[in-house]
Amino acid sequence: MSQVSRHQLGLVLVLTTVVAFLVFLSWPPGATGAGPGGGTTRPSPSATTPVTQQGQAGIGPSLVPPTSAPATATTRPLATGRWPGPTTAGVRNGSTVAAWTGGTAGVDATSGRTYDHVSVPAPVSGAWTFTGSNLTFRDCRFSVGVVFTGNNIRLDHCDIAGGVTLRGNAKVTLVGNDIHGWDTGILVSGDPRKVTDVSVTDNWIHTPRAACDSHADGIRLLGVDRITISNNTVDLGPWIPCGPLGSAITVEPAQGSDTNLTITNNLLNGGAYTVRFVACSKTTFEANHFGPDAHTAMVDTPAYPACFTKWSGNLADATGKPVSPSS
């Protein structure tokens, strides 16, 4: 090979190297592959892919926002699938409600009867009062509140546009009811005698309709021995500025002492204090969850510790933090 050819070959190699280097510099950042349209593009370092993590208090997954955008608060519905709500309480789906044939006097003394799938109209005035014993109401609708004074009463998956009052009863079961539009959702009154052996389970007690000069409680105990309050949603909702809301549960001895209370696994929300224990004895308060709407504090327990045989596992639902008797 001649000297000129060697110089030409060297020049070609240099030029080829320079061109390859320039092509490399002009290649799109983050691109790989063989050419335009044929490669894959990696995300730029500033991009962040949202991920999910387990939501608080077992409510479910929640979205963690990208770091490039500020996080915003998410309001979860208060009534979750773990507690009663609109899909589980009240007249069951597919139930046909027949017309009521008991008149509108507002007082019924009948005993030993089952009312199945009936719609009870408003009486001439006030609430309905049933003075008989051995009564069952199943999948029924009441357009006003209802009062029971007899024994062996069962209210099962009814819709009640007003509260339920128990006066001097023995053996009462309230299960699966939708109780709304009340001044007091469930009133247990020791007048004229102490109420005994009551079960309140799986009810949705919500949406009070209280006047500004009232004191609306979800459940108010005023003289009862042996009551179980379990797996209910008692929701007073957000605070009302004129102050008509009391507590989701109030216990006080205004009409007799309250003893042997078992209050477990309820979702409780709202009120000046969400729960208030003025005086009681032999009370178990366990595994209840508290909503966010207490105005003053979640708990008012002047009766602590004498009232309680057990207080444990009570949590703020949104954070999972323990709720103590002084919370």
DSSP 237-266: -S--TT--B-BSEEE--BTB-EEEEEEES-
Helix (H, G, I), strand (E, B) or coil at 202: coil
- What's the token pair of residue 258? 């309250």
Residue 81's pLDDT is 64
Digits of tens for pLDDT over the chain (327 positions)? 444 445 454 554 545 554 454 544 444 443 333 333 333 332 333 333 333 332 222 222 222 333 333 322 233 445 456 899 999 999 997 767 777 888 889 999 999 999 999 999 999 899 999 999 999 999 999 999 999 999 999 999 999 999 999 999 999 999 999 999 999 999 999 999 999 999 999 999 999 998 888 889 999 999 999 999 999 999 999 999 988 999 999 999 999 999 999 999 999 999 999 999 999 999 999 999 999 999 999 999 998 999 999 999 999 999 999 999 976
- Are the CB atoms for 303 and 276 separated by under 8 Å? no
Identify the pLDDT of residue 8.
52
Distance CA 150, CA 7 (A): 118
Spatial CA neighbour of 104 closest among 91, 121, 127, 116 = 121
pLDDT of residue 17: 54
Q: Which amino acid is at 40?
A: T
Q: How far from 78 is each of 100, 178, 268, CA to CA, in Å?
A: 34, 16, 9
Q: What is the dihedral of CA 52, 55, 59, 65, to 10 degrees?
A: -60
- Give the DSSP letter of residue 100: P
- Which domains, and CATH codes, for the chain? 110-316 (2.160.20.10)
pLDDT reported for residue 99: 78
**pTM of the model as a whole:** 0.76
The pLDDT assigned to 290 comes to 97
SS3 of residue 320 by DSSP: coil
